[in-house]
Amino acid sequence: MNATLLHLAQDWLAQDPDPQTRAELADLIAAENWDELESRFGTRLQFGTAGLRGELGAGSARMNRVLVAQAAAGIANWLTINPDFPEPSVVIGYDGRHNSAVFAKDSAAIFAGAGIRTVLFDDFVPTPMLAHAVKAGDFSVGIMVTASHNPPRDNGYKVYLGGENGGGQIISPTDSEMAHSIERVAKLHVFGSILKSNAFEVGGQRWRESYLAQTSALVAPEEQTAEHPRSGEAGRAAVNTVYSAMHGVGWASTRAIFNAVDIELPQTVAEQLLPDPDFPTVSFPNPEEPGALDLSFETANRVGATLILANDPDADRLAVAVANPDALHGYRVFTGDEVGLLLGAELAERACAQGRTGALACSIVSSSALAEVAAANGLSFVQTLTGFKWISKVPNLIFGYEEALGYCVDPTHTPDKDGISAALLIADLAGRLAAKGSNLEARLTQLGERYGHFATGQVSLRFASVQQAKDIVASLRAAPPIELAGQSLVFTDLAAGSAELPATDGLKLDLADGARVIIRPSGTEPKLKCYLQTKGSTAVAAGQRLAEIRAAVQDLVA
């Protein structure tokens, strides 16, 4: 085995163009560090519906220039023989993480070398802007180099598909077809033998301006109605707001869009405002993680803000918090389901007032409140598997979300989750409510009275490996529970699939009192996630039942 590892490592070293990863690998070979070499060459980072995502470093199981070049060449080969794209084109964006710009430029050279029209953004872009460019520019493929909210040492390679796919993230069978093409490249080519060309366009300003215009139009004056004024001094009061970019790329676009619609600019968390790939002020750059919003709370307390908006590093997610003297740090962080309800009701009621039809959609682990919103406003409702690759495919989509802080408020122009446009709509809504002497908390109470009082929450366990989370699900699948929190239940193995949902690795427990629990391993992190939902006659009753369900689930998966 050691001889095989040594051979694989030496072959990789011979083709690696990156001085840093070459030195790293050379040291491992010299030290005969077989355990580390096994972790890097014993497997290959798999390309799937999330593209590629993993830790930076040398080897086939890490993100690096060799692996990215193989991916770009494989996708280029797939694209050049695809009859659906007789004139293939690619647009490439990247965030501020380590090596993102390098991976993006390498990819552009490889796509251009394959004779494909290629546009490379000339600077950092948020992920939703890249998704918008694919759709608005009618590109065949979009590539976004980002690891979103993963740890600092990670990077990733997210793929979007144009044409009939509508510009959204790839799904089956495209993902497996691209994966096979990438594997063929890896077997036949080394980095230096992959054709490259500098005949690609560097720019993207056209798509920045297009994204700004389309997103700003979400609160444009022509959208005003008597019930929901969109802008202007009479319809919107100033709200003291704090914004964090979480060391990512969201601020430039957020600032431009708020300026375009005359919403007062938020005060910013200065320490987190500009891109920094080391994420020095957070242990984990995900707004959902404990501690990630601490600097936002400090800043908001200092300036007396009543609203906090925070994007994740690539700005496709949004966290929202409001001043609350009874909450830790003086601010209550809304759940993704609460923000989803605020946005879903806003867009559904707007569509109803304008006589438009369409669909609302959310993932199976998100709140059922959205179904009630859809029914009350004459819209259809669809549940999908987790991930915007599914949500964005819902026909005639008006609004879609998933509880992990992802919201698609403009699917016609940006077929993916978008934390910037969501921030705009929340800021606009907060301003309009303030003009009436109200606020977002009061709006949530009103929506609960109108659509039902739902409470949702999570039990989340982090492990050293993805497999540990999968093993717990497998154990429960082999010996399903028959009751939980004093209630009998119906057990559904989501791996079996159904007419409504493709198969997925997860379990659903429907309790006799209407509560619901879904247990699944994360698709991108070594986590087990348990999604809880209750419904009560009041918000207090739903919350009390949720606490009981949470305690029972913690015992179940311990």
Q: Which two tokens stand for residue 338?
A: 């609460």
Burial class (CB in 10 A: 0-12, 13-18, 19+), 173: exposed
Q: Which residue has the tokens 């500009």?
A: 274
- Detail the DSSP E strand segments found in 111-265: 117-121, 141-145, 154-161, 201-203, 241-244
Q: What is the DSSP pairing of strand 89-94 with strand 117-121?
A: parallel
Is the C-alpha dihedral spanning 305, 306, 312, 314 positive or negative? negative
If one counts every other C-beta atom within 10 angstroms of the C-beta of residue 296, the result is 26
How many C-beta atoms lie closer than 10 Å to residue 122's C-beta? Answer: 12
- Smallest CA-to-CA distance from 279 within 156, 148, 464 is with 148
Chain center to CA of 217: 23
281, containing H or E segment: none
Tokens of 165: 């796919």
Task: Identify the burial level of 87 via C-beta atoms within 10 angstroms of its C-beta, where 0-12 means exposed, 13-18 middle and 19 or more buried.
Answer: exposed
**How many other C-beta atoms are found inside a 10 Å radius of the C-beta of residue 432?**
21
- Nearest one of 92, 45, 49 to 387, comparing CA atoms: 49
Residue 473 sits at the vertex; the CA angle it makes with 471 and 475, to the nearest 5 degrees, is 70
Report how far residue 67's alpha carbon sits from residue 60's, in angstroms, rounded to the nearest whole number.
7
* CA–CA separation, 350 and 227 (whole Å): 9
* 181 among known catalytic residues: no
Q: How far apart are CA 260 and CA 457, in angstroms?
A: 36
DSSP per-residue letters across 107-156: HHHHHHHTT-EEEEESS---HHHHHHHHHHTT-SEEEEE--TTS-TTEEE
Q: Are 413 and 131 in contact (CB under 8 A)?
A: no
Name the active-site residue from 148, 181, 366, 367: 148
Catalytic residues: 148
